[in-house]
Amino acid sequence: MTAPLEGVVVADFSRVLAGPYCSMFLADLGATVLKIERPGVGDDTRAWGPPWTAGSSSYFESVNRAKLSVELDLSDPADLAVARAIATRADVLIENFRTGTMERYGLGYYALRAVNPRLVYASITGFGSHEGAQLPGYDFVVQAMGGLMSITGAQDGDPHKVGVALVDVLTGKDATIGILAGLRAREITGLGQHVEVNLLSSLLGSLVNQVSGYLATGRAPGRMGNQHPSIAPYETLRCSDGPLAVACGNDSQFTRMARAVGRPDLATDERFATNSARVEHRKDLAVLLETALAANTAAHWEKVLSSMGVPAGRVADIGGALERATELGLEPTFSVGDGHIPQVTSPISFSDYVPGRRTPPPSLGEHNAVIREWYEPLAYLTPQHDIPTYPYSDDQEGLP
């Protein structure tokens, strides 16, 4: 089977999370990703532990599978020449340096476009390339500045960050979308272009109804814990042994829930008969529902409510979530060989292609020799010098 991005070469100058997450998506789709790393140090996340793996950190391994690692010191003229040779042969370049850094090395978009007009060049910043160009972009800080923390946490508690670097992940996905659109446009025009994404804009774009609510009213939404500002019941409710997440998105679902917990009268109570009424009287409703749910366990109510078409689920930890995904036939992880932790399966599936090569994250500089041979500047000037490919293979055949 042919990978969607087979033959596409990606020069990945990024590090940490948003950029590497983006390039891993492209690798999953069949692109050859060359990960350019600092000699002796590599990507920052190689040192971000615990937890540690046999050869690196679990953080690094989470977003760097199926890539080729080459160590290049951009301050060294010989290494910089190799980096430029790679960039002038690549289809895609990804970078997340501060604005102006790549330009200082002759690796900026306009310099490269002059010699590689088909290049799709993706820049990932914290706050854009204008007034916020020199501000360092860290997910935690953007969660605070971008409003996410203001709507996360208990109503009477402090603002909280989300339990993962969600803004980096969202921005990495936005960068992937932009790159794929750039590659498609190149098929039409023959020219690449500069794709720019930034953490703050990606966060604001992901706040959807919360931002829209503010724009409609001029009032900033606040923290509501696990409750929803516009739907009820849409929250965690206590059962005899712990919480159960319930999401009644319409009146029909609420009617079925009321019947399931032995309180069919709630569906005709004028305080709860419509969603708007339930939102207005959400506190009273929660007390009544939790009184009924206290009669049994969260597992019991999950089974009963789900059987009646009411969205409900127990609060699981990561292990429980993986177990549930396996039970549902989703195959949430796959092996990349002995000595490496399993990888999380790509969330995208195709009828004729299985995303994600079964190859592990590279050790630092693992592919130094072969990449330098491919892109040695003098050899690059030879027309017969072929662009390398990294063909898809379940059994790792064809790897350098």
Query: Residue 379: its pLDDT value, please?
Result: 54
Dist CA 49 CA 384 (whole Å): 44
CB contact set of 289 (below 8 Å; sequence gap of 6+): 233, 237, 246, 257, 261, 263, 266
Would you place residue 63 in the very low, low, confident or very high pLDDT band (cuts 50, 70, 90)? very high
- The reported pLDDT for the residue numbered 389 is 44
pLDDT beyond 50 at 136: yes
pLDDT at 124 exceeding the cut of 90: yes
pLDDT at 292 over 90: yes
Separation of alpha carbons 26 and 176, rounded Å: 7
**How far apart (Å, rounded) are the C-alpha atoms in residues 107 and 39?**
19
**Structural domains of the chain sorted by starting position, each given as residue range(s) with its CATH number in brackets:** 9-206+332-380 (3.40.50.10540), 234-314 (3.30.1540.10)
Average pLDDT over residues 36-48: 96
pTM of the predicted model as reported, rounded to 2 decimal places: 0.90
For 51-60, what is the mean pLDDT?
Answer: 92
Once rounded to an integer, what is the mean pLDDT over residues 352-380? 84
Q: In the numeric block, which tokens belong to residue 377? A: 């500047």
Calculate mean pLDDT across residues 319-345: 93
86, pLDDT greater than 70: yes
What share of the chain has pLDDT > 70, as a percent?
94
How sure is the predictor about 356, in pLDDT bands with cuts at 50, 70 and 90?
Answer: low
pLDDT at 377: 74
Side-chain half-sphere of 363: how many Cα atoms within 13 Å? Answer: 6
Angle, helices 77-89 vs 368-375, to 10°: value is 70
> Is the pLDDT at 150 greater than 80, yes or no?
yes
Backbone φ/ψ region at 37: left (φ over 0), alpha (ψ -120 to 50), beta: beta
Q: Which helix or strand (DSSP H or E) is residue 288 part of?
A: helix 282-293
The closest of 117, 59, 63 to 88, measured between CA atoms, is 117
pLDDT for the residue numbered 142:
96
pLDDT of 270 strictly over 80: yes
- Residue 308 tokens read as 């009646």
Q: Please identify every residue annotated as catalytic.
A: 168
Give the whole-angstrom CA distance, residue 19 versus residue 1.
Answer: 27
**Contact in structure between 3 and 389 (CB atoms under 8 Å):** no
More confident residue, 338 or 375: 375
Is the bond into 400 cis (omega within 30 degrees of 0)?
Answer: no
pLDDT single digits (tens) 156-207: 999 999 999 999 999 999 999 999 999 999 999 999 999 999 999 999 999 9
Which residue in this structure is represented by tokens 């969603």?
275
Amino acid 258: pLDDT = 98
Q: pLDDT at residue 337 above 50?
A: yes
Beta bridge partners of 333: 344
